[in-house]
Structure 1
Amino acid sequence: MFTLVIFGLFIIFSSGIGNVSAAPVTVINTNGQSGNSPVATGFVSTVYVPQNTNQVNVNITRPKVNTTDPALNAVNVPINKTINITFTEPIKLGSNPWIEFKTNKGVSVPFAATVNGNVLFIAHSNLAYGQSYDIILHGNSITDLSGVGMTLYSTNFTTITRPVVISSNPSYNAVNIPNNKVIQIKFNRSIEYGNSSGIQFINSKGTAIPFTSTITGNTLNITPIPLLAHGVQYTVILHTNSIKDLAGNGITVFSTKFTTIVTTKTVTAYGVTFNYPATWITETQTQDGTNLIFALNPNDVGQNAPQAIMQIMSNPSGMSDAEAMYLIDRTTYPSGFKVLSKKLVTLNGVQAYDTLFTINNKKFYTETMENQEIDIVKNNKTYTLDLIAPVKDFNNVKTDFDIIISSLKIS
């Protein structure tokens, strides 16, 4: 008598003992089929044992996958998702497991495989966005605790895409946009802030524009502070991961640009004419023999509000225009005034001094102001145009000031 061991099953054969009455034992394979073929994995065999032993039914069953997470053909899978493959019984890694994790283009993905109970865990670094992946467990890469190996198994899934912009208002390269426009950028799903410092709002010279922002559902709202200048191109840049969806998936870089409207009005008083933004207001008055023209935005008022002030004063009796220009060139400024630049320019065919300085004097202003002063002497009168704004806002409103300077005419 001898025994043959196949996959842990002892099968007893009888030889040389005469006529032995025996009863059949049925071995059932993984698929539950039965038959009389020789015993081997994936097949069924009927063998005989002596009748004086009890009939024994022996099952040889390979471990099978019960569920996968992500499920087969799943989409919008997080890029940091650990893959869990659950089997029908406790398992272990095979002696030489062959597990493949790769993109649908065949690029291998580094991973670490561990087993806990009946679950295989496949961990990895963050995957690519919007990419399809395949996982293949080759035969015997996983076995049950008795060493019986699994058959070939594969699954696949696709990762989530990054949140993307579906519209912006103003649209890209839009023109004639009101200077009080709130910029709205809409995404394909609900969003939240990521790296909010990665939100950039600049004018055509690259100067940062102060703003506040809010998020409502899938929309980012950007409100400029103060109002935008007229006839200027502005750009909004959302850098990578500055905005993310609610699952933490960050955007790639996005930018849009637009140009504000150029609509002006004209004021004429005291022999002076200039254009100014249509949304501004002007006022004229006379104080102690000095004629004054004020221009400012009615929505931006207060002690530190950006504004333009034209002063027209008669020169002292007997002083020539050249002498008046000489005195302007040698003007000294009181404490708290700091001259940044001074140059001689030509405006409307007449020479003028263009001086830029800051004012840090709490008696007049509660914050540091910047002032561009244009001084012109003509017909025994001195015309001084002061263009004033807080230092932090000056570059933004400078384009509005430029409308006044470029259109200035003195009769």
Structure 2
Amino acid sequence: MSRATFAESEGEETETTTTTTSSVGRTIGVWVDLASPSHPFFFKALTDSLSNVETTVTVREKTETVPLARQVGYEFRTLGRDYENPHLRKIGIPLRTAQLALQAPTADVALSSRNAMCILAAKARGIPSIHFTDNDICAYVDGLKSEELYHRLEAQATHNVVPAAFQTEVLTDRGADPDSIHTYDGYKEDVYVASFDPDPTFLDDLPFDSQDFIVVRPEALSATYVDADGSLVPDVLAGAVERGINVVYLPREDADREFAAGLPDEQVYVPDEAISGLELAWHARCVLTGSGTMAREAARMETPAVSFFPSTLISVDRALIEEGEIFHSRDADDIVDYVDSLTDRDAEPDLTRAREVRREVADLTASLMNEFVD
């Protein structure tokens, strides 16, 4: 299957490059802190949709976050890092918070996502903050003390912007003023999916004889919010190979690479460098992930998506599953059967609704920034 180009599917090539900006009253200094791989795309799309903003960017070293920040065109300073070791990770978060508090740029407002480090550092520097989150896992899970603490710290943001599906009591129960929580009708992935302009030569860099492939991303087994005995990926990869399905496999950590050991290279491609998840989602027949972000990205651009997340689902994922936009299962055979049943018609791209959400979020953000304009 070959995916249509954006201009062919949407009918207007100009829509890929034209963004209507939302106006801030005067030029305002904006500090953007990027802490995870999805953040560069989200904040670049958002800040490009705002007029009269001057951005200063800091980035945490976490998996592909730094190269992706560079890829979207941000100039930035790297501050702090994530650690694979769970014990070091506990030290890394407060250490980076202190680094940010001491070295944060001068700004009128701080923007962050799922990032208590930036919120606390901004508060220490007297900088108001606008925080974007969609993770309300504590609404369903008891006993995750680190997650509860993170939500309590996120609640300290000047403003929290969340999808309508988000359980807002996660923030209000931890001290957030209800008037400081603002909702929009969509998902955070809409904001940057709407700005996506696919590369028609992208498929030339893949090693498959056919242009038909799926994407597989494993579970984040080392994360505190994941409770699983093991990964589903070995069985999914084996099932795909058995049925002749090409796979782009994206390991999270070095140990994940072992899941592809012994499988034919001509069918299971493991990139040596960071590769655009949006390009993959645009061109793939289906995106399969043990976490949520890549599934939501694919679903919002109308690509079939599978989640095999092993623990309690956050509300936005529950909503997308209920709406039929994401297929969820922890059975490898069921997952491969679902992928095998997909047709070309199931994977026709459309960014119309994503653009509508991006406009809503940009307008909301501009209105909140205007509170900080003298």
* TM-score, with length taken from structure 1: 0.18
- Highest CA radius of gyration, 1 or 2? 1
- Return the structure number with greater relative CO, CA threshold 8 A, min gap 6: 2
Bigger helix share: 2
* TM-score, with length taken from structure 2: 0.19
